[in-house]
Structure 1
Amino acid sequence: MVAGEASGDLLASLLLSGLKARWPALSAAGIGGPRMQAEGFDAWWPSHKLSVFGYVDALRHYRELVGIRNQLRDRLLVQRPDVFIGVDAPDFNFGLEQPLKAQGIRTVHFVCPSIWAWRGGRVKKLAAAADHVLCLFPFEPALLAEHGVAATFVGHPMADRIPLEVPQAEARAALGLADSDTVVALLPGSRRSELRYIGPVLLEAAVRMARQRPGLRFVLPVVPGLEAEVQALVAQHAPGLDLQCLAGRSHEALAACDLTLIASGTATLEAALFKRPMVITYRMHWLNWQYMRHMAYLPWVGLPNILLRDFAVPELLQHAATPEALAREGLAWLDDAPRRERLQARFTDLHHMLRQDTARKASDAIAQVLGA
């Protein structure tokens, strides 16, 4: 297995629990993070090695990433596992899956690339790389079938893990927050590049919100390994802010909060499953932005909006992602209870749709690939 960054580590760990239930003697190794290792995964390299985003960031780490991929490919071709599972990270995994598949090793890709949103050319690479694709969303298998790619809708494992009824009081107690507090969660992303581009604007937005609404409490989950960077950003952009930095614990932060200012990505779907109003934002290197904005197929970027096919929550991207705009949209949520209730109802319907016992369905699909 190969999983990159925190979101891939989480998805892969949930999949591993299902695989181990079906095959108790399962042995799994490759590239993974702490959650996978807690499931008994043997991490030959840590998942954070793959935590890059965009062409500029990837170029900086190109030689190291290619070296890791080549070493892993050679090792797997010698050891010949029963199946290779690439968890997201398509730019890395496709280049690994293709030679493995060509040499007769079964390959499964977990998470369909967003061919329905942008970069449709990836489907050709996917067809060459994967024997089977495990899809998180119900409309994806039919799209892949048009290109001759076998796929199964397995739902989203986070929809199984996150309770339908959000335990807000318990989460607040665990974080030392009062029931009467108004809490805003800041989630700038799990990559260093995201923290560099998005962290300052979220912190400055929080400062503006606190000025207009004294008494607001802020929490910021910090990915392991990024503590020093976060502390430096807080000291520079939000000194004196009533901010609690958390060691991970993003799910507790989302359960506890009334609102989240959040970087576009997997975390936005998790926020939707926690039924939380949000303001989605993203900023990146200007070269990456120029390239990606011309590749988009849909008017939405955030996963909740894509799945609901509507601007259910605001999206403030690149030049529009200013502290003033983020603070304005955040306060607008806090001031409109009926709007929040309507959103929570839509997110509850979405949660039911994605709740499919993913670990079991994915294990069944992998068993069919293996003929086991």
Structure 2
Amino acid sequence: MYKLYGRYFAALLLVLSSYLVIVLLSTNQHLAISVRSAHELETVLSLTSIAIDGNYTPTEQHLTNTQLSFHSKEYPKPTVFNNSLSSFASHFPRIMIIGFGKAGTKTLYEFLKYHPQLSGPETEMRFFSRHYDQGLESYLSSLPPPSHNGFVIEKSPDYVIVPEAAGRIIASADSLGIPVSKLKFVVMLRNPIDRAMSEYLEWKVQRYLRRESVLPGFDTLVTLETGELNLNIKFINTSCYAYHLRRWLKHFRAKQMCYADGGAFISNPYQVIQKLESCLNLNPYFTEDNFVLNHKRGFYCFQDQSFNSHLHCMGESKGRPHPPIKKVVRDRLVEYFSEWDEALKNMTGIN
């Protein structure tokens, strides 16, 4: 009798162990598929921490590959915790400065907010890139109301590099009954090497403030042991403007995109802002007299023409001097970015 029970028990254990092996194998396979799928849709350039390596390497193939469009029906609606959305719907930004970071977006934003038709928050919201799970009410309640016959504007320069951001904006606008075609997006561009260097210097400062290890030199970071460029560096990837903009131009019409030349903005901010006023359908407001050159720093400040107005200048962290780049490294960077610049020209008409 005991032997018979023992045999039954051994057989039962064998069946259970076989079942567990099958479950584990199928679970591992499922996990591998999930990780692979998530990796394809994840934010390829995370700005939540100062990371050295990026998560993708743009290649020539990216110039021609087709991207799926995030239609609002295909993308999750924003989280809604109560029914107070209607009271804040007017707070939804009709104008967003979506990128690129370290191209001059902060100064541009601060200057644009002097326009009487525009109002905006004091800080970067980054709702559609980092805080989408906090709910739409949280976002809208943090934004100021629009002025009379005006619009709310916000600046989050990581939106342009976050794959999910455009779809989230579409879904949120739809949920509020706002025509997506009425939205405008400002994209600030700058020499890609200069922009990359500015972001690298920002990394150095952040590491110093957090008492972390000293960051290697720019030339060292962007060069592999083989002498080739290290294209997995985030600040190099971000400067591949065409790679990121192509995604947005699949979601929005070309006339919804307003481009600003970061280099020209340094030397002639009035000219750049005047063009933006037209593209953003704003009433003409700014004049050349609003922009006063700070000869000590070589940057323009803003001065309202009202009585007894004082100069408004950006902080000392803006306009850090750039260390020299080795010629061989710069030449490789110029060659690499030339293909992306050509793609940008074909895509937007911008030189």
* TM bracket, shorter-chain basis: 0.3 to 0.5
- Which structure shows the bigger proportion of residues in strand conformation? 1
- Which structure shows the bigger proportion of residues in helix conformation? 1
TM-score by length of 1: 0.31
TM-score by length of 2: 0.32
Higher Rg of the two aligned structures: 2
